[in-house]
Structure 1
């Protein structure tokens, strides 16, 4: 029995070690826009040249957060590899679930911070339109990253090739269809996760107010 458990733990560790570099790197990319969003949109700052460069950087890195939704293909590949049901249920699925939820939470909070900034600037009427535009641009970024294999920094290192690929790609039906589906998925998931976040924030605020009043 002890030997069997040791074998099981060794396999579990190997599985975790196999994908931890990929997960760590993608989470790092996903949390860059989150950090930028707090610096750009939650603090009182003048819209200087540096601020606008930060906004462009924020938009460039933002698709990396919802991009992890497509990393489910790696989970599928690992499941097909032939690991036992226990490894799949207790190691792979929890690992990738936590990974995807963490990255999409980073995306949600980042976009919420944009809305907070617009509200603070008395531009609340533009929040919904801005969210939709952000989701659309993120969907395009996800397609370029997953299928065209472009990276965020390609906007700087090879902008002509990137723009040329965009014009050549998005005149075809399949890329447009995939991007539209991605946009719908991101929009729906964002709305759901946003409601959860706002609900938790409201609950915390009510709890604090209750404590102060006592």
Structure 2
């Protein structure tokens, strides 16, 4: 795997998020602040990246030891927040009466669509770079095959997490604050439709991450 310059990656992702917030600000001034919740969702997408940065640096500095496992567990818990933001595109349908008047699509629809796609792109890039960091750590400690097995498992969790978040309205921190409800919803989610939905999202995440991975490793020396 190619070793990345993560301070530079951090700055690029931060710039992307700031540009996304700037677009939101401009559009909200022209329309309304209905999509303000996207700011919180983008913040949640940054949490796994902060955990992965910590894990990556501690491992690189050969310190941390026993701290790496709980930090990786915390990363795994919050990782689904990154792909979840894609499902906020649902609000374009919820608000369709504001976008289509007498059969004509208003320009605000295109503003909001572009903004939602930019939020999704920002969250996904932040989440996928965090996955790349964790995979790099596992690769250094084992081998490439095991690192990809972890990627598969993480994307599977991401797909299932999107299901729990959007369909069952579960939050990442409910595993700590309401484990009884978490268990109940997990049991309820064991049905054919939910399994297919989770596998479908998992496949999409794998395709996009594999594309990003291929671009990152197309040139350069292996770490």
What TM bracket, shorter-length normalisation?
0.7 to 0.9
Q: Does 1:100 align with 2:120?
A: yes
The one of 31, 51, 70 aligned to 2:87: 70
* 1:146 paired residue number: 166
| Contact 1:42–1:116 under 8 Å retained in 2 | no
What is the count of residue pairs matched by the alignment?
A: 189
Structure with greater proportional helix content: 1
* 1:210 paired residue number: none
| Contact 1:62–1:107 under 8 Å retained in 2 | yes
The one of 23, 40, 43 aligned to 1:28: 43
* 2:106 paired residue number: 85
CA RMSD of aligned residues (A): 2.3
* 1:159 paired residue number: 179
Aligned residue runs from structure 1 range 1-214, under 5 A = 13-15=29-31, 17-19=33-35, 21-44=36-59, 45-48=63-66, 50-82=67-99, 85-89=106-110, 91-170=111-190, 172-198=191-217, 202=219
Q: Which has the larger radius of gyration?
A: 1
1:170-213: CA deviation from partner (whole Å, max 9, x where unpaired): 1x1111111111111111122223334445xx4xx69xxxxxxx
**For residues 70 and 23 of structure 1, what CA distance do their matches in structure 2 show?**
11
| Contact 2:99–2:108 under 8 Å retained in 1 | no
When normalised by structure 1's length, the TM-score is 0.79
**For residues 58 and 96 of structure 2, what CA distance do their matches in structure 1 show?**
44
**For residues 142 and 43 of structure 2, what CA distance do their matches in structure 1 show?**
33
When normalised by structure 2's length, the TM-score is 0.76
| Contact 1:23–1:99 under 8 Å retained in 2 | yes
**Structure with the larger RCO, 1 or 2 (CA within 8 Å, 6+ apart):** 2
Structure 2 portions without partners, runs of 5+: 1-25
User: 1:115 Cα deviation (Å)?
Assistant: 1.4
